[in-house]
Amino acid sequence: MMHQAPTDMTVAAAGPRAGQGYLSLQGLTKRYHDFLAVEAIDLDVAQGEFVALLGPSGCGKTTTLRMIAGLVPTSGGRIVVAGQDLTAVPPHKRDMGLVFQSYALFPHMTIAQNVAFGLEMRRLPRMEIAARVAEAVAMVRLEGREDRRPAQLSGGQQQRVALARALVVRPSILLFDEPLSNLDAKLREEMRSEIREIQQRLGTTALFVTHDQDEALTMSDRIVVMSHGRIEQIGRPEDLYERPATPFVARFVGRTNRFTGNAHGTTIRLGDLAVRAATQRSGPVEVMIRPHRVALAAAGCVPADGLNSVTGIVRRTTYSGDFVQYLVDADGLTFMVEEATVGHGRIAPAGTAVTLTWAPADTLVYEAAP
């Protein structure tokens, strides 16, 4: 198994400088009575960028999105788009497209009327409305269904109508609130790439709320991880995955091994085991190791210089097509190890004695939670 060269944990995430984004959230706050739903969020999104807001249910994603759309009044902070402060502007003057989790189509209108609605509000000439509706309907592949009512369409089709309805007005920003969570798994994956493709083709700036890490990782230029109304980390998908800034991000994005231990410089004691990290620390720490960063070899193999190495016994082997997951007992700890099945001939059955190796840089060390 290949290992990347150890990378600097402080690599700056791509993205506009603070306050310089096409969309700029500055200290955005929402308080419900004395409950802080969103706490002083700072975020800058470049024009044409696709940014996901990722976090567990109840962490304030929807509230943030609805504040941007103007549907929920803010309790503090500013919302700036293209240099213009929109914080106090009513929703119908914000020029944003919002795609709801529940689609929120107009049940009494046909598909064509649904899509035309935003253009009619902008008082465009009839001919242009017809042309743009046809174009948008074609873009989401719903030609021939223009005269149906929303109730006559499947969930996926309704979702595409909602997308067309928001896109057709060419909004300054497209906002999505978990738009795929009501679709089945296969359709969801199709829609991911469809939404991403259309967004890139039109160059629209997009903010996409989801609690699904796969969705966020596969669709976004950058991801904002939120927890309890606060931003945990902003970064490219690979930044979050390989260099999670906080234990929360490490746990929430991807699978991980979690241990607690004591650090002395780059050496960390995990019970009877001593492992090395790339960063200096001292005192109680939380240690995370990504299962796909650990290599598994037959016991007795001599590890390359500088690698961490642990011997253990395979307790359970789970084959899941594109990778194999092992649970390995080693010195009183249990390691989860994942190996890609590609080019990997042998699968170690339970009971096999193995050696686990990983690079010090892949030992992610965090201060222990107080």
Q: Which residues bind another protein (CB under 8 A)?
A: 69-71, 90-98, 100, 102, 104-108, 117-118, 121-122, 149, 165-166, 169
* DSSP code string of 326-368: EEEEETTEEEEEEEE-TT----PPTT-EEEEEE-GGGSEEEEP
Q: Cβ 226 to ligand ADP, closest distance in Å?
A: 7
Q: Cβ 178 to Mg ion, closest distance in Å?
A: 6
Choose one: 17-25, 55-63, 105-113, 240-248; the region binding ligand ADP (CB under 6 A).
55-63
- How far is Cα 362 from Cα 293, in angstroms, rounded to an integer? 7
Residue 58 interacts with which of ligand ADP, Mg ion, another protein, none, CB < 5 to 8 Å by class: ligand ADP
Q: Which is nearer to another protein, 69 or 249 (CB)?
A: 69
- Applying CB under 6 A, among 60, 77, 97, 118 the residue interacting with ligand ADP is 60
CA max distance for the chain? 77
Residue 37 interacts with which of Mg ion, ligand ADP, another protein, none, CB < 5 to 8 Å by class: ligand ADP
Q: What are phi and psi of 197, to 5 degrees?
A: -65, -45
Q: Going residue by residue from 58 to 97, which x/- string records binding to Mg ion, judged by CB under 5 A? A: ----x-----------------------------------
What residues have CB less than 8 Å from 94, skipping those under 6 apart?
A: 69, 70, 81, 86, 172
Q: Nearest CA to 25 among 75, 61, 77, 82?
A: 77
Q: Residues 61 to 120: which contact ligand ADP by CB under 6 A?
A: 61-63
- Applying CB under 6 A, among 2, 5, 17, 57 the residue interacting with ligand ADP is 57
CA 13 from chain centre, in angstroms, equals 14
β pairing state of 50-54 and 222-227 = parallel
Residue 69 interacts with which of Mg ion, another protein, ligand ADP, none, CB < 5 to 8 Å by class: another protein
- How far is Cα 288 from Cα 369, in angstroms, rounded to an integer? 13
Helix axes 111-121, 155-167, angle to 10 degrees: 20
- How far is Cα 182 from Cα 280, in angstroms, rounded to an integer? 45
By CB neighbour count within 10 A (0-12 exposed, 13-18 middle, 19+ buried), where does 363 fall? buried
Quote the tokens at residue 303.
Answer: 């590890």
Q: Which is nearer to another protein, 45 or 164 (CB)?
A: 164
Choose one: 50-58, 89-97, 274-282, 360-368; the region binding ligand ADP (CB under 6 A).
50-58
Choose one: 53-61, 164-172, 213-221, 268-276; the region binding ligand ADP (CB under 6 A).
53-61
Q: Which is nearer to ligand ADP, 63 or 172 (CB)?
A: 63
AA identity, residue 243: R
| Residue nearest to ligand ADP according to CB distances in the complex | 62
What is the CA angle 191-59-215, rounded to 5? 20
Q: Cβ 62 to Mg ion, closest distance in Å?
A: 3
Q: Which is nearer to Mg ion, 62 or 172 (CB)?
A: 62
Q: Going residue by residue from 21 to 40, which x/- string records binding to ligand ADP, judged by CB under 6 A? A: -----------x----x---
Task: Check residue 59 for interaction with ligand ADP (CB under 6 A).
Answer: yes
Say if CB 225 and CB 232 are below 8 A apart. Answer: yes
By CB neighbour count within 10 A (0-12 exposed, 13-18 middle, 19+ buried), where does 73 fall? exposed
Binding-site ranges for ligand ADP (CB under 6 A)? 32, 37, 55, 57-63
